[in-house]
Amino acid sequence: MAIVEKVIDASPQQVFDVLADGWTYSDWVVGTAHVRDVDDAWPRVGSQLHHRAGPWPFSLQDASTVLLSEPPHRLVLRAGLWPAGEAIVTFTLDPVGDGATRVRIGEDFAAGPLRWIRTKLNDVVLHLRNRETLNRLSDIATRQTDKR
């Protein structure tokens, strides 16, 4: 499993608020090109976020499903990208000091061809992708902090 972490200058609740706004996923999740729909219950267990991933005209339509939601500390998703497969993505948010949060993202391929072709190169690419994802998440969470 590839795990990346970053300390964000916002409270766990402020960071989780970004995770809980499914409509922002294409703004911060690297590779998500467009959010097509978000279940009203998002991010409750079983709810889905419907997205397109990858560059046009090769983008794929699929959905991510909430497997576990413990606001404001943990969110676990099954992210679909069929026919390539699916991944389990875990966000863990821990308070650090006064008003900051250590965010960890762990991602592992769970099904499909991506699971079968795991290599060091895939792990490096996933690590870089998730580092940029956390940088974008930080930008949004801290921007919301600045508005308060």
| Tokens, residue 141 | 């969470």
> What is the domain-level CATH number for residue 68?
3.30.530.20
Instruction: Tell me the residue range of the domain where 57 lies.
Output: 2-146
Question: What is the structure's pLDDT at 74?
Answer: 98
Question: What is the structure's pLDDT at 90?
Answer: 96
Q: Answer for the pair 102, 93: CB distance below 8 angstroms, yes or no.
A: yes
43, with CB counted inside 10 A (0-12, 13-18, 19+), is buried
High-pLDDT (> 90) share of the chain, %: 59
| Domains held by the chain: number | 1
Angle of helix 12-19 relative to helix 120-147, nearest 10 degrees?
A: 110
Q: pLDDT tens digit string along 85-120?
A: 788 999 999 999 889 999 999 988 776 656 556 655
For residue 67, what is the enclosing H or E element? strand 60-70
Bridge-partner residues for 87, per DSSP? Answer: 79, 109
Least confident span in 3-7, 18-22, 52-56, 101-105:
52-56
The per-residue pLDDT of the chain, averaged, comes to 86
Task: State how far the Cα of 75 lies from the Cα of 42, in Å rounded to an integer.
Answer: 11
Question: What is the structure's pLDDT at 145?
Answer: 54
Q: DSSP string covering 77-100, please?
A: EEEE-TTS-EEEEEEEEEEETTTE
Question: What is the structure's pLDDT at 36?
Answer: 93
